[in-house]
């Protein structure tokens, strides 16, 4: 029957669209996977910042910023928070690692600037809400 041949083609089209949409959805979900504090951000801090930002070390003694835990990071320096959840641009933490500040407070202090990749991970984590995840 002629009409059936068209219906089959139409059905195949609908199935193809559904499969394509499903693929797009899966791709979007993967692309938006949350940046994790524990898995992505803390290992960078540990490697690049921690030696100076623990009690007894110069970064902590001068600024008051203790980077050992999520809570101590969120507390910030003696002048207040350095992370503004959902706004990396307003976060002093990002300003100092992107070198948008005076020379003396560019971080890591007197060392090579962090890679784009490291800075991007921290920025993404802040823009996603700076959660303890």
- Per CB under 6 A, residues contacting ligand HEC are 48-49, 51-53, 58-59, 62-63, 65, 77, 82, 92-93, 96-97, 104-105, 107-111, 114
Cβ proximity to ligand HEC, 109 vs 128, nearer residue: 109
Cβ proximity to ligand HEC, 9 vs 111, nearer residue: 111
**Contact (CB, 8 A) for 106 and 91:** no
Nearest CA-CA partner of 48 in 69, 76, 74, 67: 67
Cβ proximity to ligand HEC, 8 vs 116, nearer residue: 116
Distance CA 98, CA 108 (A): 10
> Cβ contacts of residue 44 below 8 Å, gap of 6+?
114, 118, 121, 122
Cβ proximity to ligand HEC, 20 vs 128, nearer residue: 128
Nearest CA-CA partner of 122 in 130, 133, 111: 130
Closest approach, Cβ 121 to ligand HEC, in A, equals 12
Closest approach, Cβ 37 to ligand HEC, in A, equals 14
Closest approach, Cβ 47 to ligand HEC, in A, equals 9
Closest approach, Cβ 120 to ligand HEC, in A, equals 13
Comparing every residue's Cβ against ligand HEC, the nearest one is 49
> Cβ contacts of residue 40 below 8 Å, gap of 6+?
121, 125
């Amino acid at each position: 029957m002629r009409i059936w041949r068209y219906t089959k083609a139409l059905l195949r089209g609908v199935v193809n669209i559904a499969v394509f949409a499903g693929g797009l959805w899966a791709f979007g979900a993967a692309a938006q996977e949350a940046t994790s504090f524990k898995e992505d951000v803390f290992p960078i801090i540990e490697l690049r910042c921690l030696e100076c930002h623990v009690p007894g070390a110069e970064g902590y003694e001068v600024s008051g910023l203790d980077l050992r835990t999520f809570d101590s990071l969120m507390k910030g320096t003696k002048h207040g928070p350095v992370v503004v959840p959902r706004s990396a641009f307003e976060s002093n933490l990002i300003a100092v690692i992107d070198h948008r500040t005076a020379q003396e407070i560019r971080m890591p202090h007197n060392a090579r600037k962090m890679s784009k990749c490291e800075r991007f991970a921290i920025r993404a984590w802040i823009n996603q809400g700076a959660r303890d995840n």
